[in-house]
Amino acid sequence: MKIIAPFFLLLPTTIFAADTNGLPTLVPPYPEIPPTFWQQHQMAVIIGGFLFIGVQSLWLYKLLMRLQPKVEPVENLTRAALTGLLNEPEDGKLLSEVPRILRTYFGNQFQTAGAEATTAEFIASLERHPRLTAAVKTIAAALLNECDTAKFAPSRHAPDLDVVERALDLVNEAEQIRAGQTTVKA
């Protein structure tokens, strides 16, 4: 019988004779770690971020301001409506439209009875208003009563009342009162 030598005995002895107590051989060191993007561009990112927020805020402000309707003052709307009626014939339509415009104007500017009130109710609310002068109250009452009389009169050949011009004068006098100037033409 043959004696089989153990396999490890056949290996070279240098493997077992290596020095295990010494330091291993080191690989060369990595280069220095470069600075990160944030470290390199920190101030530029912060300033750019604030600029971006500022530009977006300005853009949003301009966009929202454009969406808001422009509110025209009531006196300008009233004058424009009455001026548009200057060349119209004095018929039932005009004699209904001018008092409606005046009632709306006085209702908005002086908190009197509005456009839905009858002539008598509207004149009564004008009489109760403390800031309006007696001349304005008298002119308004006369104008509204004349419009009603001409509008509901059986004769269609009413004299020329110049209601639009008189209404414009009335609005101008009322605006002088609102502005604090109480010099009213009689």
Segments forming the whole domain that contains residue 85: 75-179
CA proximity to 73, closest of 163, 170, 171: 171
Give me the mean pLDDT over the 4-16 stretch: 56
Q: What would the pLDDT profile of 35-75 be if each residue is shown by its tens digit?
A: 999 999 999 999 999 999 999 999 999 988 887 777 888 88
DSSP string, 58-91: HHHHHHHHHHSPPPPPHHHHHHHHHHHTTTS--S
Residue % of the chain over a pLDDT of 90: 27
Split into its structural domains, the chain has a count of 1
Q: How far apart are CA 148 and CA 98, in angstroms?
A: 11
Q: Which amino acid is at 37?
A: F
Which single residue is written with the structure tokens 């414009």? 168
Q: What is the mean pLDDT of residues 121-143?
A: 89
d(CA 13, CA 55): 78
pLDDT band of residue 4 (cuts 50, 70, 90) is low
Q: Over the Cα atoms of the chain, what is R_g?
A: 47
Residue 3 lies in a domain: no
Whether residue 60 is contained in a domain is answered as no
Q: What is the pTM of this model?
A: 0.61
